[in-house]
Amino acid sequence: MLITLASAKGSPGVTTTARVLASVWPQEVALVDADPAGGDISLWSPAPDGTPLDPDTGLLTLAVEARRGVASLDPQLQTIDGGLQVVCGVQSPGQLAGMGPVWPSLAGVLRQHPGTVVADVGRLTPDSPVLPLVLDSDALVFVVRPTIEGYAHLRERLRWLTTVDSGMRPMPALGVIAVTEARDTGSLRDLELLLGHAGLNVPVLGAVGVDQKSADVVAARIARGIDRSLLVRSARQLVGPVRALGESRQHAAAGFLKKELR
Ligand SMILES: Nc1ncnc2c1ncn2[C@@H]1O[C@H](COP(=O)(O)OP(=O)(O)OP(=O)(O)O)[C@@H](O)[C@H]1O
Ligand SMILES: [Mg+2]
């Protein structure tokens, strides 16, 4: 199953959410840094022995190999401290220039992973080079902060997505995660109402708690255990809804294929 996490605008916490969600995922999982603006995951996460990850092993090599038709995910996986397997992103946006036609086949490579792939695709705009990969994911989850502008940009991005042609496959199942204070259930309700009024049938899957200290640990700004933190506990609550969202599209895709073959 391929799950992509994105923002509509700003930096609401996509990388932090993707990183923590992958680290609490109960089955086999790989975290892919596919942010075209340049990846943060390799900057935040050293190898278990404390050495930096190899920047030449990762998305760029995978994309080059996919272009040659020989890509395989396994050689591009590196293990980070804590045991999570990751695919490092690009170091600068220019590195993805000219990679255009490769993304649809790269989605196929990611899908061959035996477990779940969680991919951080950064800010999703109509000209994002990774849009074909996003459109071939099972679930596309937007991360948003509960602000007027956060909601407004999200609504417009979701509206735009309803006009996008995903080709021969069904669109990814769409969902939203809000990064918000633990007691703030009102924001989730407001967001659901706003989307409903806009005619957007997109579920709000839940919240990632605002927990700056733990987010700082994830970003390697401070060191301490966060296993029982609000950030990790709230991410655990999201595993079920995110997985169910991805599975709903997998079922839709199977039905779609059956119809095509008839
Ligand atoms: N749950 C959270 N609680 C508190 N702070 C958070 C949380 N998630 C992210 N942050 C903070 O918000 C800032 C942006 O986070 P992050 O880099 O994950 O966002 P992003 O959407 O991936 O941004 P970018 O667009 O730069 O890739 C960072 O300072 C991070 O520590
Ligand atoms: Mg990011």
Task: From the CA of 221, give the closest atom in ligand 1.
Answer: 31
| Res 259: pLDDT | 64
Q: Provide mean pLDDT across the span 164-189.
A: 91
Whether 23 contacts 241, CB under 8 Å: no
Nearest-atom number in ligand 1 for the CA of 35 is 27
Pocket of ligand 1 (CB under 6 A): 7, 11-16, 35, 40, 122-123, 179, 208, 210-212, 215-216, 219, 231
Give me the pLDDT at residue 11, please: 97
- pLDDT beyond 80 at 141: yes
In the reported structure, the alpha carbon of residue 65 is separated from the centroid of ligand 1 by a whole-number distance in angstroms of 31
- How sure is the predictor about 261, in pLDDT bands with cuts at 50, 70 and 90? low
Of ligand 1's listed atoms, the one at least distance from the Cα of 12 is 21
Tell whether the model's pLDDT for residue 24 goes beyond 70: yes
pLDDT at residue 252 above 90? no
Check residue 257 and give its pLDDT: 56
Q: Which of ligand 1's atoms lies nearest the C-alpha of 37?
A: 27
Give CA–CA dist 105/103, Å, rounded: 5
Residue 37 C-alpha to ligand 2 middle, in angstroms?
9
Q: How far is the CA of 249 from the centre of ligand 1 (A)?
A: 28
* C-alpha span between 259 and 256 (Å, rounded): 5
For 209-228, what is the mean pLDDT?
A: 91
For residues 47-60, give the mean pLDDT. 93
Q: Which domains does the chain have, with CATH numbers?
A: 2-261 (3.40.50.300)
Does position 123 have pLDDT exceeding 90, yes or no?
yes
Selection from 147, 141, 110 nearest residue 124 by Cα: 141
Calculate the dihedral angle through the C-alpha atoms of 13, 247, 201, 165, rounding to the nearest 10 degrees: 90
**Average model confidence (pLDDT) across the chain:** 92
* Contact yes or no for 138/1 (Cβ under 8 A): yes
Report how far apart the first and last C-alpha atoms of the chain are (Å, whole number).
Answer: 25
Residue nearest to atom 28 of ligand 1 (CA): 13
Our mutation pick for probing the ligand 1 site, out of 9, 11, 20, counting the most ligand atoms within 8 A of Cβ, is 11
Ligand 2 center to 16 CA (angstroms): 7
Confidence of residue 225 (pLDDT cuts 50, 70, 90): confident
Confidence bin at 256 (pLDDT 50/70/90): low
Token pair, residue 112, equals: 């061959």
- Quick one: which ligand is closest to 124's CA? 1
- Residues with Cβ < 8 Å from 75, sequence gap 6 or more? 57
Residue 36 Cα, ligand 2 centroid: separation in angstroms? 10
Residue 24: in which H helix or E strand, if any? helix 14-24
Q: Among the atoms of ligand 1, which is closest to the Cα of residue 120?
A: 22
Q: What's the pLDDT at 183? A: 85
Please tell me the distance between residue 41's alpha carbon and the centre of ligand 2 in angstroms: 8
d(CA 6, CA 19): 13
- Looking at residue 169, its pLDDT comes to 82
Tens-digit pLDDT profile for residues 142-160? 999 999 999 999 999 999 9
The region of weakest confidence among 5-19, 101-115, 172-186, 224-238 is 101-115
Helix, strand, coil percentages in the chain from 3-state DSSP, rounded to 5: 45, 20, 40
